[in-house]
Amino acid sequence: MRLLLIGGLAIAAAIRGIASSEDVLPALKSPWVAIRAATFLMGTPEGAWGRGRYNEDQVAVTLTHDFEIGRYEVTQDDWTRYGFPNPSSRDPKAPATGDALGGRNPVGTVTWFEALAFANARSEHASPPRPACFELSGCTGEMGRGMSCASVTVRAKSIYECEGYRLPTEAEWEYAARAGTQSDFYAGNFAAPAAPLEAPDPILERIAWYEFNSDMLSHPVGLKAPNAWGLYDMAGNAFEWVFDRYGASGFGKGPLVDPTGVTEGQYRVVRGGGAWSPLTGYRSAARFYGLPTSRIPLFGLRLARTLRPGEHVDSN
């Protein structure tokens, strides 16, 4: 056993060896899923097992913009298609843990700044091209090799009004992950919360690459069961950067409309749990965080884009 530290939380993780690649992979479906504006309960009810004590208080959130979100996590093929070097890597202290290399595997070891730059590149290469959401300035380092920027400006009145591709907000991510549910995961609740770290969970086995089936490595996207809205790997596989800053005391007093998190603080939110994390980390409301310059294996992303009234999802 060894300890992994993420979001200030030490995680005991057993190293099991290197995961094998799939010999035959199913064809990927259309890459985007439309999500309609709605009001939902974000966070976790008091008394639920695994609930964050201070940062998951339930709050009513209204999203007023329809959006599309990636059906899959951004893959290594997606990333390198634009000429960026593949940042995916193993944990240098435990090489059997981290990003397994493969075109269909989620890209990892991505900084938050690089995630924004990739979203801009996706906008530039769209057909037709879309305006970039982010103005990145004072950047140093190579894209895919630890790029860091001095400042980021949203090139619209709000992140929800950007026309191009972007990271989802934390509220959009949780709403999409839940797919209308209020259970621990989008497929149900923990089977045996009294002893959650001792044995595999049958629901997570179906929907996630996680500690008990991943060998602590990422796997090709889309191989586990999707949620009711057709989104894959919203639990497990790669951790996913979202746009918001991390607030240790939660989301703020509700009700909230189109929230973007706290306005100060150096950390950014990471969602979804990865191929390793405590079992509580795969819950739809679970929150992690990292510095925007962090280069951590399994830290990846999933893109989103605001839909104008009457607009359909992209086909490419």
What's the pLDDT score for residue 192? 64
Q: What mean pLDDT is predicted for residues 256-268?
A: 94
What's the pLDDT score for residue 20? 36
What's the pLDDT score for residue 122? 98
What's the pLDDT score for residue 2? 30
Residue 123: phi, psi to the nearest 5? -65, -45
pLDDT, tens digit, 9 for 90 and up, residues 287-298:
999 999 999 999
What's the pLDDT score for residue 315? 57
Residue 79, CA distances (Å) to 68, 86, 127, 188, 280 in order:
19, 7, 17, 32, 29
Domain 55-316's class? alpha beta
Q: What mean pLDDT is predicted for residues 199-215?
A: 92
Structure confidence at residue 93 as a pLDDT band (50, 70, 90): confident
Buried/exposed code over 62-90 (b: 16+ C-beta within 10 A; e: otherwise): ebebbbbbbbbbbbbebbbeeebebbbbb
Q: What mean pLDDT is predicted for residues 101-118?
A: 98
What's the pLDDT score for residue 314? 66
Q: Tokens representing 175?
A: 């709403």
More confident residue, 49 or 193: 49
| DSSP letter, residue 300 | E
